[in-house]
Chain A
Amino acid sequence: MHGSCPQLRSVSQLPVEYVLENFQLNTNRANSKRPRTAKVAKIRRKQRKCDKAFVPVQPTAKRAKTKENSVDSNTSVFSSSSQSSGVSAGSDAGNGRGSEKQRRGVVGAETGRGTAENETATATTNAGRFITSDLIKTVNSKQKKGQSPLDATTNLQLSDCLRTVQKLAIELESSDAKDGSDANVNSDADASSAVMSETGCRHYQSYVKEHSYDTFRVIDAYFAACVNRDAREKKAIHCNCFECGSYGIQLYACLHCIYFGCRGAHITSHLRSKKHNVALELSHGTLYCYACRDFIYDARSREYALINRKLEAKDLQKSIGWQPWIPTAKETNLLLANARRRMVRPNQTIGLRGLLNLGATCFMNCIVQALVHTPLLSDYFMSDRHDCGSKSSHKCLVCEVSRLFQEFYSGSRSPLSLHRLLHLIWNHAKHLAGYEQQDAHEFFIATLDVLHRHCVKAKSEHESKSNSSGSGSGTNSSSSSSSHCYGQCNCIIDQIFTGMLQSDVVCQACNGVSTTYDPFWDISLDLGETTTHGGVTPKTLIDCLERYTRAEHLGSAAKIKCSTCKSYQESTKQFSLRTLPSVVSFHLKRFEHSALIDRKISSFIQFPVEFDMTPFMSEKKNAYGDFRFSLYAVVNHVGTIDTGHYTAYVRHQKDTWVKCDDHVITMASLKQVLDSEGYLLFYHKNVLEYE
C-alpha cells in the first residue's frame, strides 16, 4: 500500500485520466465504448499475428540448429562445438566479408547524419570505424579459438543488431525531441550521472576500453529488454542456459563471448573457466562482475539500458517498467543538506499523534486521524506536492493539512492542537462554526469540500501566475476557479475520494431507461427497517449495500415523464456504482431524524476487513477492473443523539490498529475494530489502476 516515490508519481497522474475518461462517459456512453473495443481488436490482431508466428517456432528452432550450427538446448556447448567448428568457420569467413561491407555502409550513413545527433550519437560514429576493424578481429580470433558455435553467427548479427539498435534509438530521440516532453528526463539523467559518477568497477572499465559499449548495448537490447519483434524471436529461440537448457528465471549472458547460463553454478563456472569477468543479468539488465563477485553500476550503460527499455515499451505499447529512483542534482543537494534520516520500522509510533480536545471537537479529531492515515493522501502530502501561492497560504486549508502531516511525522509524541484547522473550517464552512457538538460525517464532507475548493484555487492561481507572469491577473483567478465545474477536477481530493453513481430510471410502460450520473464522496446507508421487502433490518454492510443498489419502485405518487414514451408513468429507480474512488467511505445513518422522533440506531452492523465491490458496479461483466477494498479507518460514536463522544480506529501499519481517543492513543486488536459499532467506515482500494 505504501508506494515508493516513482510509483507515486504515476499513481496520482493516471487516475486522473481514468476519472476523466469516465466523466466523458457521462455525455456519451456509446461513444466511449468504441476506443476500448478498437484497442482490444487491435491487440487481438496483434496477438493473432504472433500466434501465427508462434506456430513455426519449433521448426525455426530446428532450422537454426542446422543452419547456424547453434547449440542444441539440451547438450553442452563443448560437446557440440567440436563437431561444428569446422563448418562454422568456413561459412563465417564468407559472411564476415559481407558484413564488413555492410558495416562500412552504416558508418557512412552515420557520419552523414552525425551532425544532427547529440553527443552520444557522435561518439558512436567516431567509434564506428574502430568497431569495424575491431569486430572482425574478434570474429577471427573467436573462430580460431572455436569457443562457441553460436559465436560466429551472433557476431555476424552483432553489426546488424547494433545498427538496428542505434537506428531505433535515434528514432526514439527524434520523436522525443518532437514531443519535447522527454527533454527534461534526459537532462535529469545527465545531471544525475554527473552527480552519481557511477563507473562500474575497474574490471568493467577495462572491459569497456577493450570492447566498447556495443556488445552490452546489443545484448541488452536483444535479450534483456527486447526492443522489437526480431529481438523477441531471437530471445525465444536462443536464450536458454547452455549448461542445462532451461529458460530459467534468471539467466546471465557473458559479455565476452556468446554464453547464456543460469544464475549460480552454470554462469560462474563459465566465467571462471574462460577468465571472463563481465556478465549481464537478463531479467533486470544488471551488470555482474565475476572478479568483484558483485553487481556493478555504470551510468553510461544505464543510459543505454534506459533507451532500450523505452524502445521495448514503445514496441509493446506498454508503459515503461519500474525504474530505480535516481536522485536529480536538486534532490541530491537536498539530501546532503538534510543529513538526518529516520527509518521506519515495524512497531514504530512515527505517524501517530494524539489530538487535544478543544471543547467538543472530537468530531474533528477523529476525521483528521482518518484523513492522516489515508495512504494516498499521505503520499501526496509527504512528497510536498501542494504548491500554494505564498501570499494566501495561511488562509489555505490544504497548506494547513500539509503542515499537519509534517507535525504527525515529526516524531514528537506530545498531543497536537488543531485550533488553526478548526478556525479555517469555521471561516469556510459557516454551518460548522461555534462550540457545539457537530456531526463527524458533516465535518468530513465539509472538509473535503473546502480542501477541494482550495486545491482548485491554488491551481488556478498557479496557472495564472505562470501564464501571465506579473500581469496582475489576480482577479481573473477567482472567475476561472468558479468555472471549474464540479467533478471535472483533478485535484487530489477528487482523485482519491470522488466516485460516480449511476441511477437508472426504468419506465414501467415502455421499459425505456434513462440514466443519470452523479459524483459522490461517500455512500450513506440506511439502517432502518425496509418498507417494501417485509420489514427486514440490514445486519451487515453488504446487506446495506444490497439494499442501496436494489431497484426501488417509485410508486404512483411520483410519476416521472418518460423521455421515450413522452408521458408520465410509474417507474423504478436503481442505483449502481459507475466508478469507484480509491477511498470509499460509508456513512451508516445511525442518526434518524424524522417528523416524529429523533433517535440513534445502535444496532450492530457487521463490516468486513476486506471485500469486493464488484457486485455493486454498473458493469459487472467488465473484467478489467479490480474492486477489492480494505478497511483502514473506523469512526465510532458513543452516546445518544444529542450528546456523545467520537473515537476512531485507524490502521497504523500493516495489521496494526490503534484507537485514537482525542489525546490518548492505544493499541487495538482487529477484533476490537470489527466489534465496534461503526459510524463512518473508510475503505481503501487494494489495487490502483494505472489507466
Chain B
Amino acid sequence: MTVSAAVDQYTVLTGDRSKIKDLLCSRLTECGWRDEVRLMCRTILLEKGTNNSFTVEQLITEVTPKARTLVPDAVKKELLMKIRTILTENEEEADEAEDEP
C-alpha cells in the first residue's frame, strides 16, 4: 500500500478528510478562485457552447489545468501543513498509546 493511499484511508476514517475538504472549499472561495474559475467556464461556454456537442467532460478537460495553476501557493501550503499536523498528531498519540500499559 502506498503512503498516499494510507493517508487517504486514515483521513477518511477519522473524518479529517471531510474537514480538510471544507477548509479547502472555503479557502478557494475566499481567495476568489471559485469566482475566477466560474468566469473561465463562462467564457469558454460563450465561445464553444454554441455547438451542442460541447460536453461537460470537454469543459472539465479544458478548465482543469488552468484552474490548477490558479490555486494560490498559500492555500496549497496551508493544506499541506494541516495534513502534516493531523498526521504528526496521530503519530504522537500512537506513541502515547504504546507507552501506556
Instruction: Choose, from A51-59, A541-549, A635-643, the stretch at the interface.
Output: A51-59
**A687 contacts across to B, CB distance below 8 A:** 27, 30
Interface-lining segment among A311-319, A444-452, A512-520 = A311-319
Is B30 in contact with A3, judged by CB distance below 8 angstroms?
yes
Give the contacting residue for A246; candidates B5, B39, B90, B93; CB below 8 A.
B5
Q: Which partner residue on chain A sits nearest B61 by CB separation? A: A264
The smallest C-beta distance from B96 to any residue of chain A, in angstroms, reads: 8
Residues of B within 8 A of A7 (CB): 26, 29-30
**CB of A471 within 8 Å of the partner chain:** no
Q: Which residues of the other chain, A, contact B22 by a CB distance below 8 angstroms? A: 318-319, 321-322
Q: B21 contacts which chain A residues (CB < 8 A)?
A: 283, 321
Residues of B within 8 A of A293 (CB): 55-57
Q: Mark A238-277, 1 if CB is under 8 A from B, else 0.
A: 0110000011000000000000000010000000000000
Q: Tell me how far the C-beta of B42 lies from the nearest C-beta in chain A, rounded to whole angstroms.
A: 9
Which positions 50-70 of chain A face chain B at CB distance < 8 Å? 50-55, 57-58
**Within the assembled complex, what's the spacing in Å between the Cα atoms of A523 and B60?**
48
Do most interface residues of chain B lie in helix, strand or loop, or is the interface mixed? helix
**B19 lies within 8 A of chain A by Cβ:** yes
- Other than the known A47-B90, A50-B13, A322-B22, what 6 A-B pairs have Cβ atoms closer than 8 Å? A44-B93, A51-B94, A57-B13, A232-B13, A236-B9, A654-B32
* 26 A-B contacts (beta carbon < 8 Å): A1-B30, A1-B32, A4-B34, A4-B35, A47-B89, A48-B97, A50-B15, A51-B97, A54-B13, A57-B10, A57-B13, A58-B1, A233-B13, A235-B12, A246-B5, A247-B8, A264-B57, A295-B56, A312-B18, A316-B15, A318-B22, A319-B22, A321-B18, A321-B21, A321-B22, A654-B32
* Bound Cα distance from A319 to B22, whole angstroms: 9
A42 at the interface (CB under 8 A from B): no
Report the bound CA distance from A51 to B4 in whole Å: 17
Q: Does A225 contact B (CB under 8 A)?
A: yes
Residue A202, interface by CB 8 Å: no
Given A57-B13, A239-B12, A294-B55, A51-B90 contact (CB < 8 Å): yes
What CA separation (Å) do A237 and B35 show in the bound complex?
A: 35
Cβ 8 A contact of B25, one of A237, A247, A322: A322
Q: A500 an interface residue at 8 Å Cβ cutoff?
A: no
Residues 293-317 of chain A, each 1 if its beta carbon lies under 8 Å from chain B, else 0: 1110000000000000000100110
Does B30 lie within 8 Å of A315, measured CB to CB?
no
Q: How far is the CB of B52 from chain A (nearest CB, A)?
A: 11
CB interface residues, B 1-52, toward A, < 8 Å: 1, 4-5, 8-10, 12-15, 18-19, 21-22, 25-27, 29-32, 34-35, 39
Complex: A487 Cα to B57 Cα, angstroms: 53
Report Cα–Cα, A233/B17, bound state, in Å: 12
The 3 tightest CB contacts between A and B, nearest first, are A247-B8, A236-B13, A321-B22
The verdict on A599 contacting chain B, using a C-beta distance below 8 Å, is: no
Whether the pair A232, B15 counts as a contact (CB closer than 8 A) is yes
A362 interface contact, C-beta 8 A: no
Q: For this complex, into which size category does the number of interface residues on chain A fall?
A: 35 or more
In the bound complex, do residue B25 and residue A321 qualify as a contact, i.e. CB atoms below 8 Å apart?
yes
Complex Cα–Cα for A264 and B15 (A): 26
Whole-angstrom distance between the Cβ of A41 and the nearest chain B Cβ: 12
Best-buried of B4, B9, B55 by chain A (most CB within 10 Å): B9
In whole Å, how far is A44's beta carbon from the nearest beta carbon of chain B?
A: 7
Q: Which residues of B contact A345 (CB under 8 A)?
A: 39
Complex alpha-carbon distance, A47 and B10, angstroms: 11
Which of B15, B25, B89, B97 is A315 in contact with, Cβ under 8 Å? Answer: B15
Determine whether the beta carbon of B30 is less than 8 Å from that of A52: no
> In whole angstroms, what is the CA distance A525 to B97 when docked?
51
Chain A residues whose C-beta falls within 8 Å of the C-beta of B25 in the assembled complex: 321-322
A680 within 8 A of B: no
List the interface of chain A (C-beta within 8 A of B). 1-4, 7, 44, 47-48, 50-55, 57-58, 225-226, 232-233, 235-237, 239-240, 246-247, 264, 283, 293-295, 312, 315-316, 318-319, 321-322, 345, 654, 687-688
CB atoms of B29 and A226 under 8 A apart:
no
Cα–Cα, bound, A44→B13 (Å) = 15
**Chain A residues with CB below 8 A from B97, complex form:** 48, 51-52
Most buried by A among B21, B25, B26, B89: B26
B18 in contact with A318 (CB, 8 Å):
yes
Chain B residue numbers with a CB within 8 Å of A2 are: 32, 35
> In whole angstroms, how far apart are the Cα atoms of A535 and B14 in the complex?
57
Q: How far is the CB of B101 from chain A (nearest CB, A)?
A: 14
Shortest C-beta distance, A281 to chain B (Å), equals 11
CB-CB nearest in chain B for A11: B30
A318 — which chain B residues lie within 8 A by C-beta?
Answer: 18-19, 22
B12 x A226 contact (CB < 8 A): yes
Per the bound structure, the CA–CA distance linking A240 and B27 in Å amounts to 27
Complex Cα–Cα for A295 and B27 (A): 24
Bound Cα distance from A53 to B12, whole angstroms: 13
Question: How distant is the Cα of A646 from the Cα of B34 in the complex, in angstroms?
Answer: 37
User: From residue B53, how far is it (CB to closest CB) to chain A in Å?
Assistant: 10
Closest to B11 in A: A236
A316 close to B26 (CB less than 8 A): no
- How many angstroms from the CA of A117 to the CA of B1 in the assembled complex? 46
Q: How far is the CA of A646 from the CA of B18 in the complex (A)?
A: 50
Point out the residues of chain B lying under 8 angstroms from A4, CB to CB.
Answer: 29, 34-35
Point out the residues of chain A lying under 8 angstroms from B29, CB to CB: 3-4, 7, 322
Query: Which residue on chain A has the smallest CB distance to residue B19?
Result: A318
Name which residue of chain B comes closest to A295, CB basis.
B56
Most buried by B among A233, A236, A237, A654: A236
A44 partner residues in chain B, CB cutoff 8 A:
93
Query: Contact check: which of A51, A264, A283 meets B93 at CB < 8 Å?
Result: A51
Question: Within 8 Å CB of B10, what residues of A?
Answer: 54, 57, 236
B8: chain A residues within 8 A (beta carbon)? 236, 247
The interface residues of chain A lying within 8 Å CB-to-CB of B93 are 44, 47-48, 51
Q: How far is the CA of A239 from the CA of B12 in the complex (A)?
A: 10
- Beyond A4-B29, A321-B21, A321-B25, whether A54 also contacts B14 by CB under 8 A is yes
A237–B34 Cα gap in the complex (Å)? 32
Is A316 a contact partner of B12 (Cβ separation < 8 A)?
no
The smallest C-beta distance from B55 to any residue of chain A, in angstroms, reads: 5
B14 & A294 in contact (Cβ 8 Å cutoff): no
CB distance from A201 to the nearest CB of B (A): 13
Contact A57 B9 (CB under 8 A): yes
Instruction: List residues of chain B with CB within 8 A of the CB of A240.
Output: 5
Task: Give the residue name and chain of the A residue nearest to B56 (CB).
Answer: A294
Q: A233 CA to B9 CA in the complex, in Å?
A: 9
Across-interface contacts of A654 in B (CB, < 8 A): 32
A242 to chain B, nearest CB (A): 15
- Which residues does chain B contribute within 8 Å of A322, judged by CB atoms? 22, 25-26, 29
Residue of B nearest to A58 (CB): B1
Interchain CA distance A239-B57 in the complex, whole Å: 23
Q: In the complex, how many angstroms separate the beta carbon of A306 from the nearest chain B beta carbon?
A: 15
Cα-based distance from A48 to B97 in the complex (angstroms): 8
